[in-house]
Amino acid sequence: MAKTIMIVDDSASIRQVVGIALKGAGYDVIEACDGRDALNKLTGQKINLIITDVNMPNMDGITFVTEAKKLPAYKFTPMMMLTTEAADDKKQAGKAAGAKAWLTKPFQAPTLLDAVSKLVLP
């Protein structure tokens, strides 16, 4: 049974690239364009990993992680932050909210897959 990963990013191109890479590796992918959109799409289906950008309109990544952690169906779901710069304060804030994994942008597909597979193998 394929593992499902949600990618939350306001950049359509990033969602696309990440989506292609993950699907190519054998994951199912759910896309969301910001934190609010993502919360609306968390409807109880099984998700094995959530990857989220930090700076997004409507709801930023850290708020989203905090909210998602409150949902019973996702409170134990691993969360990965995409930090634009190696901004350590953002990373720490993300960790505090519950996103223990992180990936520094810009990244290439192999780096993403490598980081993802530490948490969820396809």
Return the residue of 63, 95, 104, 109 that touches another protein, per CB under 8 A: 95
DSSP alpha helices (H): ranges in the chain?
12-25, 35-41, 61-68, 88-97, 109-119
By CB under 8 A, is residue 58 in contact with another protein? Answer: no
Per CB under 8 A, 121 contacts another protein: yes
Nearer to another protein, 29 or 119 (CB): 119
Among 7, 42, 54, 78, binds another protein (CB under 8 A): 78
**Which of 79, 82, 93, 112 is the binder for another protein (CB under 8 A)?**
79
Could you tell me the end-to-end alpha-carbon distance of the chain, in angstroms, rounded to an integer? 9
d(CA 111, CA 25) in angstroms, rounded, equals 13
Can you tell me which of 14, 29, 109, 119 binds another protein, judged by CB under 8 A? 119
> Does residue 71 touch another protein according to CB under 8 A?
no
φ and ψ at residue 29, rounded to 5 degrees: -125, 135
Q: Which residue has the tokens 């169906």?
A: 73
- Residue 84: name the closest of 117, 54, 52 by CA: 54
Chain residues that interact with another protein, rule: CB under 8 A: 1, 49, 73, 75-80, 95, 98, 100-102, 115, 117-121
